[in-house]
Amino acid sequence: MPRGFCGYLCPLGTLIDLFDWAIGKRVTRFRVSGDGWWVHIKYYLLLGILVAAFGGVLLSGLFSAIPVITRGLLFTLSPLQTGTATGWHQMPPMGGGHVVSLLLFFGVLSLGFLRPRFWCKYVCPSGAVFSLSNLFRASERKVETSCIHCNKCVEICPFDAIKPDFTTRTTDCTFCQSCGGVCPTHAIKFVGRWEVQGLKPENDPPTNETSLGRRGFLSASVGTASSIVGGLLASTGTKAFGANLDGHGPRPVRPPGSVPEEQFLQMCIRCGECFQSCPSDVLQPLGFQQGLEGLWTPHVVADWAGCSSSCNACGQVCPTGAIRSLPLDEKRHARMGLAVINKSTCLPFHGEPCQLCVDECIAAGYDALEFVHVGTEVDAAGQPVEGTGTLAPLLVPDKCVGCGLCQTRCYAINVVSKQLLDRSAIVIEAGNFHEDRLMSGSYRELRELESQSSPANNTGSGSYLPDFLNAPASETPSSERDAQ
């Protein structure tokens, strides 16, 4: 079925039709003709995306129809649904990724001011793929000699797929059959491409469409060259100002089961399905922290919510395997990051009672936080003085998976509600020795191997626990406190 997706299935096309009907047709001052240089933008855009892909940079998620509408509706209607159903305070905060996505989404709709379905006809690279596949069609729109040149088919065609002589622009036809419905003589039929009996002659009336010619060749050459250069610039620029995977700066905390970061950035198509499936909005789109390369990729915002131990929805809906589909038992062993306690701000290290993070970790079933005595005074004989010191949380790295529930609790109570802190005293960090990112294999078996090789202090071979975390707060060097 030629361009069957565009004609019958694409939800973005349906939304564009609705916008054109409700708003676009009422504003005509920006209208353009249907024979300008813009009629082939989709092919040049597709070429640029393919060139960038050969350079190792995925741009298709920025312009493909399904990601555009999924993100657009997710960032507009979903917050309203959340606020109406559970309270407006439950709406996740807006970030740079949200703003860019919404500008793109409404930009696509606004193209309807130029011509109805301008995006679908001239810009959509997904449509360009289907247009090229039309060359291998098995069936085709045909016009018989009974055509009376009434022009009704040209007026109703939503894809400008009908020439002035009422024959078909093969690459643009979607088989919507709207033209057949308005033809008063039933001269239009949709049959096999090899059926040629009783057809009206082409170029009657004259279409004034000529072969490629000098101007057309020049236009195509400039467009092709621009696409190639644009794809190369996008590839090199994205890599130069991208994720900086060789650096030692902070890394975003990815969803549980995410493949290694380099492969993750290549496999994630920014479709937004993981955001849509996350029941607590712990997954939110990344802005420009990793440049264009990381834009709209999912990351864990533990200040907002933690990752529930009973949910594996993101891996179930990921269409490319950038987030592996893990059973719940495997997901509970997939380490997204490690909790790091800031002893300079953690209340128990300063004599103030607090056990929010420990209680939350126990309730989740991880038991990765334990209480230890800190600040205990000793007498002249080196014996602890009774009644001195306090209990403070200590991380057991072998058990921590970086779910972020501890950070969520500390932030909600100590930062937002009681305003005792400027930021959570326990945060989830990713990066080297903080996370496990496997392309394949079992996280559970990895945890078991770590447990078997762990020394007596309960720190696994793959875990990260700075030595000074075991020291009293007063003994922690200021530089190390600042770093944490």
| pTM over cut 0.75 | yes
- Nearest partner of 324 among 398, 388, 267, judged by Cα: 267
CB burial string 195-207: b at 16+ within 10 A, e below: eeeeebeeeeeee
Show Cβ contacts of residue 23 under 8 Å, excluding neighbours closer than 6 positions.
Answer: 112
How do the domains of the chain map onto residue ranges? Answer: 4-133, 137-192, 252-336, 338-429+454-483
Contact between 153 and 188 (Cβ < 8 Å):
yes
Strand spans (E) along 313-422: 338-341, 369-374, 390-395
5-26 CB burial, b ≥16 within 10 A, e <16: bbbeebebbebbbebbeeebee
Q: Which residue is listed with tokens 């006809």?
A: 121
Provide the residue type at 483 as one letter. Answer: A
Under 8 Å between Cβ of 250 and 63: no
Task: Identify whether the C-beta of residue 280 lies closer than 8 Å to the C-beta of residue 308.
Answer: yes
Take residue 135 and report the two structure tokens written for it: 């060359």
Task: Report the distance separating Cα 89 and Cα 346, nearest Å.
Answer: 26
Strands 390-395 and 188-192, by their bridges, are: unpaired
Count of Cβ atoms closer than 10 Å to residue 167 Cβ: 19
Distance from CA of residue 344 to its chain's centroid?
Answer: 36
Q: CA angle at residue 45 from 44 to 46, to 5 degrees?
A: 90
CB atoms within 10 A of CB 401: 25
Report yes or no: 469 and 459 within 8 Å, Cβ to Cβ.
no
How long, in residues, is the chain?
A: 484
pLDDT at site 91: 78
Rounded to 5 degrees, φ, ψ at 154 are -65, -40
Which one-letter amino acid corresponds to residue 81? Q
Sign of CA dihedral 285, 291, 294, 299: negative
Class of domain 252-336: alpha beta
Q: Give the count of alpha carbons within 13 A of 399, CB side only.
A: 15
Beta strand 283-285 with 369-374 is unpaired
Neighbouring C-beta atoms of residue 267, cutoff 10 Å = 17
Divide the 484 residues of the chain into consecutive groups of 10 and give the mean pLDDT of each group.
82 93 88 82 92 86 88 86 78 82 92 92 91 85 92 90 88 89 92 85 72 59 87 83 69 93 89 89 88 88 92 94 94 93 91 91 92 75 70 90 94 93 94 86 87 56 37 38 36
Q: How far apart are CA 61 and CA 296, in angstroms?
A: 9
Residue (of 116, 104, 42) closest to 71 by Cα position: 104
Architecture of domain 137-192: 2-Layer Sandwich (3.30)
> Would strands 338-341 and 369-374 be described as parallel, antiparallel, or unpaired?
unpaired
Residue type, 465: L
| CA–CA dist 374, 456 (Å, integer) | 20
Cα angle: 192, vertex 205, 161; to 5 degrees:
45
Query: What backbone phi and psi angles, to 5 degrees, belong to 168?
Result: -110, 135
